[in-house]
Amino acid sequence: MAPRSKTKTETPQGAGDEDAPMSDAPTSHQPTTEEVDESMADPDEDEAVPEAENEEDMLPEEVQRVRILPGSTEHAASFEFLEEGHTLGNALRFIINRNPDVELCAYAIPHPSEPKMNVRIQTFEGTTAIEALTKGLRDLQDICDVVTDKFVDARQEFASGVTA
């Protein structure tokens, strides 16, 4: 019996010559991130900045955590949340769906390796998608408020029950 081996034809012919050059590679769909460190590394540029502005630069840069995805309209919008997951997504979806002016609300985490959460909101004429989202967040805040109060009350009640 002949020993098993790879057939010779599997070897690509002149593979090195036919490799696509990097410039032909499709462009990335990831948004390009601006290099923040670049200006820091340049001493001249640092000096040129007036002091008042410089102070502002010292503050940690505010990252925009919510944005509307392209293709959204007033009554039907997709929002992208950074650094959020099922913890907020599921509760937010439920609370927004309870808004009678909302036609549809759904959320998704497009890829588990990306810290992103997308929320889709479609509303009837009465409200806009942004309003519905804000209202949903406010409603959740109110529930948190109520539960915090109730928990503190319950804790006091329990503590007084133990000491009595």
Partner 1 sequence: MDYGTTNPDEVIKHARIDKTPTVKISHSDALRCKFELKDTTMDFANTLRRVMLAEIPTIAIDLVQIEENSSVLADEFIAHRLGLIPLNAEGVKKLKSSRECDCDEYCDQCSVTLTLHAKCTGEENMQVVARDLVPAGDRLNDHIGTPVITDADGQGPLILKLRPGQEIKLTCIAKKGIAKEHAKWAPSAAIGYEYDPHNKFHHLDMWYEENPKKEWPPSDYATWEDPPDETQPFQFDAEPTTFYFNVETAGPLAPDAIATEAMEVMMMKLAGLVNELTAGEGGSGANGLESPGFGGGGGDGWQDGYTTPSGFGAGGGGNQSSWGGGGGVTPYGTTPYGGSGAPSW
- Give the binding site for partner 1 (CB under 8 A): 26, 29, 31, 60, 64-74, 76, 78-81, 84, 86-88, 90-91, 93-95, 98-99, 110, 118, 120, 122, 130, 133-134, 137-155, 157-159
CB of 18 to partner 1, least distance (A): 23
Structure tokens at 154: 């319950």
Q: Which is nearer to partner 1, 12 or 43 (CB)?
A: 43
CB of 117 to partner 1, least distance (A): 11
Structure tokens at 119: 């929320």
Bridge partners of residue 77, in order along the sequence = 121
Q: Which is nearer to partner 1, 21 or 60 (CB)?
A: 60
126 to 120, 122, 131: CA distances (angstroms): 17, 11, 10
Size of the chain, expressed as the number of residues it contains = 164
- Judged by phi (left if over 0) then psi (alpha if -120 to 50, else beta), residue 92 lies in alpha
Residue 27 — φ and ψ, nearest 5°? -70, 155
Q: Which is nearer to partner 1, 95 or 127 (CB)?
A: 95
Q: Which is nearer to partner 1, 12 or 112 (CB)?
A: 112
